């Protein structure tokens, strides 16, 4: 086969970047291709460096080119990160913070939504991705169930425009599916949906992109960790020991060598009850001191203790997160968490 740029590109179309389920050419990873009689030189643009798939893809590309053009051809491949290139859908996002839990029912989505609001209240530019693919709740919590994101074309490809509410950019799989029907998806379909929400959207410039992860330790968490530059993760628990047992597994996932996402801290949700007419009162109905104990056991900071108040469920159901209410003790707790997170960066 004659050595030409078009020939090289054709061979590289057979190299798949499995994290995003497509070939490196169509994904736009090929950059600054130079071809001479004795050398093929180019750069490969990855979401982030330091992950095993970087070497795997480079080795596959080298093998494909040598098989096509001969062993005597010099092949020079340089891996770079999207941010280094100054492009990529998340190039304008300074920090990605994932909110995780070991099990459902601990209020993880409520924490993610109100944390996004609290960060925005500090004058920061914030986005929120509802990556809880099987149980999306952001459309209801922000009162945007009947809205749909916009779409425009860039370089021949459709780009999603996030919905904006309360100054926060929002995307959820809930905007694209029938909310009355259950999502019966295998892992690859779920991770493909996550990649669309992150990579096929115009997020612009953000200080923080908060990601509401599904409960547990599955494909979505692995894809996020391996394919994107996540600044850190927050784990959410309730005071009960049975909840913390699952949180320990979720926290342990982020400490694995293959993931290496820093754990920013623990949030104890439903830590105590405060009556509406006596917001200064704290009734530790599930016991006191569990949050401090759990955080110490995980070796991470206790970022905050979020109280139970009567309005918290009603505010979420009505599409107005409670952290918008400056007088609520819940807002004060989230404001403290947001301040702590901002200081970390």
Give the pLDDT band of residue 309 (cuts 50, 70, 90).
confident
More confident residue, 341 or 289: 341
At 311, which CATH number? 3.40.50.300
Q: Check residue 253 and give its pLDDT.
A: 78
Does residue 61 register a pLDDT over 80? yes
Mean pLDDT across the stretch 123-146?
Answer: 90
pTM over 0.75: no
Give the pLDDT band of residue 178 (cuts 50, 70, 90).
low
In terms of domains, do 145 and 243 share one?
Answer: yes
Q: How many CA atoms lie within 13 A of 134 on its CB side?
A: 11
Does residue 49 register a pLDDT over 90? no
At 74, which CATH number? 3.30.300.130
In terms of domains, do 80 and 97 share one?
Answer: no
Q: Contact 127/93 with Cβ under 8 angstroms?
A: yes
In terms of domains, do 221 and 170 share one?
Answer: yes
**Most confident option among 43-47, 73-77, 154-158, 320-324:** 73-77
Q: Determine the 3-state secondary structure of 219 from DSSP.
A: helix
- Residue 223 CB contacts under 8 Å (≥ 6 apart), including other chains: 19, 191, 194, 195
C-alpha–C-alpha distance, residues 273 and 94, integer Å:
35
Does residue 95 register a pLDDT over 70? yes
In terms of domains, do 105 and 61 share one?
Answer: no
Looking at 84, 116, 139, the residue that finishes a domain is 84
C-alpha–C-alpha distance, residues 134 and 182, integer Å:
8
More confident residue, 303 or 49: 303
Percent of the chain with pLDDT over 90: 37
Does residue 87 register a pLDDT over 60? no
Q: Contact 331/322 with Cβ under 8 angstroms?
A: yes
Q: CA distances (Å), 344 to each of 262, 301, 337, 340, in order?
A: 11, 12, 11, 7
C-alpha–C-alpha distance, residues 321 and 301, integer Å:
25
Q: What is the pLDDT of residues 96-110, one digit of tens each?
A: 999 988 777 788 899
Looking at 84, 102, 125, the residue that finishes a domain is 84
Percent of the chain with pLDDT over 70: 91
- Residue 256 CB contacts under 8 Å (≥ 6 apart), including other chains: none
Give the pLDDT band of residue 311 (cuts 50, 70, 90).
confident
In terms of domains, do 295 and 195 share one?
Answer: yes
Query: Minimal CA–CA distance to 209: which of 340, 111, 93, 329?
Result: 93
Q: Contact 249/136 with Cβ under 8 angstroms?
A: no
Mean pLDDT across the stretch 19-34?
Answer: 84
Domain hosting 24: range is 5-84
269 forms bridges with which residues in the sheet?
A: 306
In terms of domains, do 146 and 25 share one?
Answer: no
More confident residue, 105 or 15: 15
Q: What is the pLDDT of residues 200-246, one digit of tens each?
A: 898 988 999 999 988 876 778 878 877 788 899 999 988 877 777 77
In terms of domains, do 108 and 214 share one?
Answer: yes
In terms of domains, do 72 and 158 share one?
Answer: no
In terms of domains, do 66 and 145 share one?
Answer: no
Give the pLDDT band of residue 276 (cuts 50, 70, 90).
confident
In terms of domains, do 295 and 326 share one?
Answer: yes
Residue 317 tokens read as 């159901």
In terms of domains, do 140 and 238 share one?
Answer: yes
- Over the Cα atoms of the chain, what is R_g? 22
For the chain, where are the E strands, in sequence order? 16-17, 22-23, 30-35, 39-46, 74-81, 93-100, 126-130, 150-154, 157-161, 163-165, 168-172, 206-212, 232-237, 263-273, 302-308
Does residue 29 register a pLDDT over 70? yes
Exposed, middle or buried: residue 8 (CB in 10 Å: 0-12, 13-18, 19+)?
Answer: buried
Looking at 84, 116, 150, the residue that finishes a domain is 84
In terms of domains, do 226 and 302 share one?
Answer: yes
Q: Report the domain count for the chain.
A: 2
Q: Check residue 101 and give its pLDDT.
A: 85
């Amino acid at each position: 086969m004659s050595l030409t740029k078009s020939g090289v590109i054709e061979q590289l179309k057979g190299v798949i970047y499995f994290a995003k389920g497509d070939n490196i050419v169509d994904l736009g990873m090929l950059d600054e291709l130079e071809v001479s009689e004795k050398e093929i030189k180019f750069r490969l643009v990855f979401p982030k460096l330091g992950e095993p798939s970087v070497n795997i893809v480079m080795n596959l590309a080298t093998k494909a080119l040598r098989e096509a053009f001969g062993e005597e051809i010099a092949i020079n491949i340089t891996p770079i990160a999207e941010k280094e290139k100054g492009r990529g859908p998340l190039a304008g996002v300074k920090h990605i913070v994932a909110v995780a839990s070991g099990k459902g029912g601990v209020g993880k989505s409520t924490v993610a939504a109100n944390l996004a609001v609290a960060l925005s209240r500090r004058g920061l530019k914030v986005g929120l991705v509802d990556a809880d693919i099987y149980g999306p709740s952001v459309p209801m919590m922000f009162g945007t169930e009947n809205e749909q994101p916009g779409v425009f074309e860039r370089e021949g490809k459709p780009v999603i425009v996030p919905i904006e509410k309360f100054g926060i950019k929002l995307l959820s799989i809930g905007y694209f599916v029938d909310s009355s029907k259950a999502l019966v998806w295998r892992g690859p379909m779920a991770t493909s949906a996550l990649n669309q929400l992150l990579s096929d959207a115009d997020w612009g410039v953000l200080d923080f992109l908060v990601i509401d992860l599904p409960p547990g330790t599955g494909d979505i968490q692995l894809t996020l960790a391996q394919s994107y530059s996540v600044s850190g993760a927050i784990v959410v628990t309730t005071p009960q020991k049975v909840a913390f047992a699952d949180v320990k597994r979720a926290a342990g996932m982020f400490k694995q060598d293959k993931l290496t996402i820093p754990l920013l801290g623990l949030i104890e949700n439903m830590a105590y009850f405060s009556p509406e007419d006596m917001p200064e009162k704290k009734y530790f109905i599930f016991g006191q001191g569990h949050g401090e104990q759990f955080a110490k056991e995980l070796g991470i900071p206790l970022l905050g203790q979020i109280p139970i108040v009567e309005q918290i469920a009603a505010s979420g159901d009505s599409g107005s997160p409670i952290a918008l209410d400056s007088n609520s003790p819940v807002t004060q707790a989230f404001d403290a968490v947001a301040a702590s997170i901002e200081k970390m960066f």
